[in-house]
C-alpha cells in the first residue's frame, strides 16, 4: 500500500470584502445601489468578484461602469453579462 493522504478542512470565516471602487461608484448612483442591496449576498459577490478578477485597471474601470449601469436598469449579473456580450 502507498502512503495515506490526510486532508484537513477549515471553514473560511473571513468577511468578504467588496471592491472599494465599485462600492464608491454605487454610492453615487442611488437607484443602482438600492437594487444591488436588494440582491442576495451571493449575487452581490458575483459583481464584486468579476470586477476584482479584471487583470488591468482599464478593464476594472469598464467592469465597474457596466455593473453600475446594469444595476441601475435592475439587471442581475446574468442579464448584464448577456447584454455586454451582445455588443
Handedness of CA 72, 45, 38, 27 (dihedral sign): negative
Looking at residue 11, its pLDDT comes to 73
pLDDT in the model for residue 6 = 85
DSSP labels, 49-60: HHHHT-SSHHHH
Mean pLDDT of 36-53: 96
State if pTM tops 0.85: no
Which pLDDT score is estimated for 22? 98
Mean pLDDT in residue range 10-35: 92
Domain layout of the chain by residue ranges: 20-85
Amino acid at each position: 500500500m502507498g502512503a495515506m493522504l490526510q486532508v484537513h478542512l477549515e471553514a473560511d470565516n473571513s468577511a468578504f470584502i467588496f471592491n472599494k471602487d465599485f462600492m464608491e461608484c454605487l454610492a453615487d448612483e442611488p437607484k443602482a445601489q438600492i437594487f444591488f442591496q436588494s440582491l442576495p449576498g451571493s449575487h452581490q459577490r458575483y459583481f464584486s468578484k468579476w470586477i476584482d478578477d479584471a487583470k488591468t485597471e482599464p478593464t476594472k474601470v469598464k467592469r465597474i461602469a457596466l455593473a453600475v449601469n446594469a444595476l441601475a436598469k435592475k439587471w442581475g449579473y446574468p442579464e448584464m453579462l448577456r447584454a455586454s456580450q451582445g455588443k
